[in-house]
Amino acid sequence: MLTSVAIGRRLAQRAIAWQAIAIAVTALAFLAKGGSWALAAGLGGAAIALGGWLSSVVALGGGVNPSAGALARLLAGVALKWVVVLAVLLLGVGQAGLPPVPMLAGVIVALFAQLLAMARPLARH
């Protein structure tokens, strides 16, 4: 029997796997423009994947609890995800001097891959 927490964990794992593939393809496409462009695309996508993983750890880490605790964990996970994403983007563009266009493209591709991964139903075992 799958609980909602187990289903959430499986969805998060599938989303991260799909994101990794999409990020790799995007970085390879930007490699034609230069190494810094490929690195920026990979870093932007990796920020989303890392933030999503941290969000799932926080949101799904407490097991089954009352609704107030579950909602608080969910909100904390989402907030942590976007703090990580913004920090990586700011460090990548501001400190490392990476181009912002491929970095944002990596973010968009990773978010789209997450959307596609979570839209498909999970196989029941």
Domain enclosing residue 86, as ranges? 4-119
- Supply the DSSP string of the chain, one letter for each residue: ---HHHHHHHHHHHHHHHHHHHHHHHHHHHTTT-HHHHHHHHHHHHHHHHHHHHHHHHHHTT-S--HHHHHHHHHHHHHHHHHHHHHHHHIIIIIS---HHHHHHHHHHHHHHHHHHHHSPPPP-
Confidence of residue 5 (pLDDT cuts 50, 70, 90): confident
Proportion of the chain above pLDDT 70, given as a percent: 94
Confidence of residue 61 (pLDDT cuts 50, 70, 90): confident
Q: Flag whether pLDDT at 125 surpasses 70.
A: no
pLDDT at 94: 96
- For residue 124, is it within any domain? no
pLDDT at 2: 59
- What is the mean pLDDT of the segment spanning 28-57? 97
How many structural domains are present in the chain?
Answer: 1
- For residue 32, is it within any domain? yes
Q: Are 91 and 113 in contact (CB under 8 A)?
A: no
Of 35-39, 72-76, 109-113, 117-121, the least confident: 117-121
- For residue 109, is it within any domain? yes
- For residue 110, is it within any domain? yes
pLDDT at 47: 98
Which position has the higher pLDDT, 62 or 19? Answer: 19
Helix axes 67-90, 35-60, angle to 10 degrees: 160
pLDDT tens, position by position, 79-95 = 999 999 999 999 999 99
- For residue 125, is it within any domain? no
pLDDT at 124: 64
